[in-house]
Structure 1
Amino acid sequence: MPVRPSVKAGFELRDIYMILIRQKVIQRNTRGLFSLISLLIFAWLSGCSFERENGFHKPPLEMPFELQKLGSNIEIEMHITEYKEYVFALDFMYKENDQADRDRVKKLVGDSSHDGDFGILTPLHLKISAIDALEGKTILDHEFKKLKLVSWGADNFEKHITGIKLKPGNYLIMIESLSNIPELVGTQVTFRVAYSTRL
């Protein structure tokens, strides 16, 4: 049975705080403060996972992403140490050992056959930029609508956004939802960056 990643050494609460700021979920009022506290607790307990090196996050990493909300976005600086392919993916979560909830989410994500159903459209924008000697160089800047289901576990379905080879260095990763997706309300979605398993 797959094991969900735990919070690693080097993980700091301010990392979640910065993520939430960039997702524009902080409001300047009491209700906003309550929402912030609730979201911090949720993010901590839901398995945000990443390591840091010289102030940059290292893959593998994952964090909650409000894909269902137009304009929701994440910006994160990532440090790459190995030249290899990295996979950018979304995990659609369901309740473990709950067949009804699994079936509900399965209808949203489609199937994995070659000519199969892509599920609901999930328009998003992914941009990857180098921020070292090649500062400002855009590595990837693309919009995606149809994501293919590639795998599943005890509590999630995984859909790949893209895979790309990255050289050692520092990168700015930006992902943004381009549409309101009411079908996803109530479904937790996680943005993930991991090493490709392809040789």
Structure 2
Amino acid sequence: MKHTNVMPRLAWILCLYGGIVASTSYGFEAAAPQKPQEVNVPIDISRSETSITTDIKITEHRSYNFYLNIYYKDSPDLHRVMRLTGDGSKYPDGRYGRPGIVVPLHVKVTNTSGTVVYDEIGNAQGVDIHGFGRDKDGYLSRLVGGVELRPGVYRIQVSTIKKTPEFFDTRCTFSIRWHPNTEPLAD
């Protein structure tokens, strides 16, 4: 009896009709992707001059990225949030095709001796990451900036520059991330 694998055909049909194939088995197991290590701090970007401060302990010398996460509750809310954030489309020169409402954030990183390591205003626009939750909820992440940090304790201050009332009643967090698939930097 000839064994035929119908999964590719079934996956194609489900994708055509809006279904999602969570996993398939072809005689091997793929390692589960590791979630980037991150710290999230709530921030209200709808008001100007909102400021948050958090201290973080860095244990590995590597590059860290700063993101603005904008959360949605369900599918209809995703469409509302995407009207605010735009999408991930980009022109060949790197500009966003649909940047959404640009949110300027001032990010300042200092070490324990008070030395400023990073002090920039980043314009959060478009979408760089789409994270999914369990019940049709999730978030859209916008890159704000990044910095190389050595082991130590750092204070991160984030401030909004202008008010963006369109984001009123929309949950947002400022995120500091690194991806575990990247190697620590050599000293």
Q: Who is 2:7 aligned against?
A: none
- Percent identity over paired residues: 28
Pick the aligned partner of 2:64 from 64, 82, 86. 86
Q: Any conservation in 1 of the 2:62–2:149 contact (CA below 8 Å)?
A: yes
On the 8 A contact 1:68/1:184 being kept in 2, the answer is: yes
Give the Cα–Cα distance (whole angstroms) in 1 for the partners of residues 66 and 47 of structure 2: 19
**1:88-109, Cα deviation, whole Å (9 max, x unpaired):** 11110001xx221110101111
Structure 2 residues without counterparts, runs of 5 or longer: 1-19, 21-36, 92-96, 133-137, 183-187
Q: Distance in 2 between matches of 1:127 and 1:79?
A: 16
SS in 2 for 1:101: helix
**How many corresponding residue pairs?**
137
1:118 aligns with 2:94: no
TM-score scaled by length of structure 2 = 0.68
Aligned match of 1:43: none
What is residue 187 of structure 1 aligned with on the other side? 170
CA distance in 2, matches of 1:190, 1:73: 12
CA–CA separation in structure 2 for the residues paired with 1:172 and 1:139: 10
Secondary structure in 2 matching 1:118? coil
Amino acid aligned to 1:114 = K
Paired with 1:143 and 1:162, the residues of 2 have a C-alpha distance of 8
Contact (CA 8 Å) 2:105, 2:144: kept in 1 or not?
no
Q: Note the C-alpha offset of 1:182.
A: 0.9
Displacement over 4 Å in runs of 4+ = none
SS for the counterpart of 2:127 is: strand
Q: Considering Cα pairs closer than 8 Å and 6+ residues apart, tell me whether 1 or 2 has the greater RCO.
A: 2
Q: How far apart are residue 114 of structure 1 and its match?
A: 2.0
Q: Is 1:63 matched up with 2:44?
A: no
**2:114 maps to which residue?**
136
C-alpha spacing 1:92/1:146, structure 2 compared with 1 (3 Å): closer
One-letter code of the match for 2:69? D
Structure with the greater alpha carbon radius of gyration? 2
2:117, 2:158 → 1: CA distance? 14
**Contact map agreement 1:128 1:172 (CA 8 A) in 2:** yes
Task: Give 1:136 shift.
Answer: 2.1
Q: CA deviation at 1:78?
A: 1.3
Give the match for residue 153 of structure 2: 170
Taking structure 1 as the reference length, the TM-score comes to 0.64
- How far off is 1:195 after superposition? 1.3
CA–CA distance in structure 1, aligned partners of residues 82 and 111 of structure 2? 36
Structure with greater helix percent? 1
Instruction: Structure 1: give runs of 5+ residues left out of the alignment.
Output: 2-58
8 Å contact from structure 1 (residues 85, 196) kept in 2: no
**Aligned partner letter, 2:104:** P
